[in-house]
């Protein structure tokens, strides 16, 4: 299924806007070109909503989150970059495990069940794509999805 990036991304931004606004988070869309994406649009939406939900949950108020989308070698690259609490190197390898959450206490502080990223990974793989993460504790996290 082919669809245009621009209306797709604006729909997603509209969906997360209320919760982002509540936390005073600035969501910035980088690379505003309009190109065609080849993917299952509902599943790609689910991927982005999960990553944007995490970016929101694990960020302080009044920080910025960048959503960047571009085309590279016939693939679509999507990155979600936050300035949040980050993930420790020891935890990184487990974040895609079902029900894994970095600290037990996080479930009380932030809510959630630890399912999001395991679903994201499955959906990315169903597209024959890859997901990568780069994170610094206390500085922020970048997720990069290539499909």
Tell me how far CA of residue 12 lies from CA of 18, 62, 72, 113, in angstroms: 11, 20, 22, 22
SS3 content of the chain, % helix, strand, coil (to 5): 40, 30, 35
CB atoms within 10 A of CB 34: 10
Nearest to 117 by CA among 139, 141, 85: 141
Phi, psi angle pair for 75, to nearest 5°:
-115, 160
* Per-residue binding letters, 18-37, with ligand ATP (x by CB under 6 A): --------------------
Q: Which of 27, 47, 85, 145 binds ligand ATP (CB under 6 A)?
A: 85
CB contact burial 76-91 (16+ within 10 A = b; e otherwise)? bbbbbbbbbbbbeeee
Nearest distance, CB of residue 53 and Mg ion, angstroms = 5
* Residues in binding contact with Mg ion, number by CB under 5 A: 2
Check binding of 54 to Mg ion (CB under 5 A): yes
Q: How many residues make contact with ligand ATP (CB under 6 A)?
A: 21
Q: Binding partner of residue 114 among ligand ATP, Mg ion, none, CB under 5 to 8 Å per kind?
A: ligand ATP
Mark the segment that binds Mg ion (CB under 5 A) among 15-23, 28-36, 51-59, 96-104.
Answer: 51-59
- Residue 77 dihedral angles phi and psi, to the nearest 5°: -110, 130
**String marking each residue 103-142 x if it binds ligand ATP according to CB under 6 A:** ---x-----xxxxxxx----------------------x-
Footprint on this chain of ligand ATP (rule: CB under 6 A): 54-55, 58, 82, 84-87, 95, 100-102, 106, 112-118, 141
């Amino acid at each position: 299924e082919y669809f245009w990036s621009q209306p797709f991304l604006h729909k997603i931004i509209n969906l997360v806007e209320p919760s982002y606004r509540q936390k005073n988070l600035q969501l910035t869309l980088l690379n505003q070109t309009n190109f065609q994406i080849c993917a299952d649009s509902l599943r790609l939406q689910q991927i982005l909503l999960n990553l944007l939900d995490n970016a929101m949950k694990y960020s302080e108020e009044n920080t910025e989150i960048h959503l960047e989308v571009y085309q590279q070698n016939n693939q679509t690259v999507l990155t979600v970059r936050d300035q949040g609490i980050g993930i420790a190197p020891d935890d990184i390898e487990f974040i895609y495990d079902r029900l894994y959450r970095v600290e037990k206490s996080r479930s009380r502080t932030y809510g959630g069940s630890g399912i999001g990223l395991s679903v994201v990974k499955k959906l990315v793989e169903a597209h024959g794509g890859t997901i990568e993460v780069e994170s610094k504790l206390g500085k922020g996290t970048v997720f990069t999805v290539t499909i």
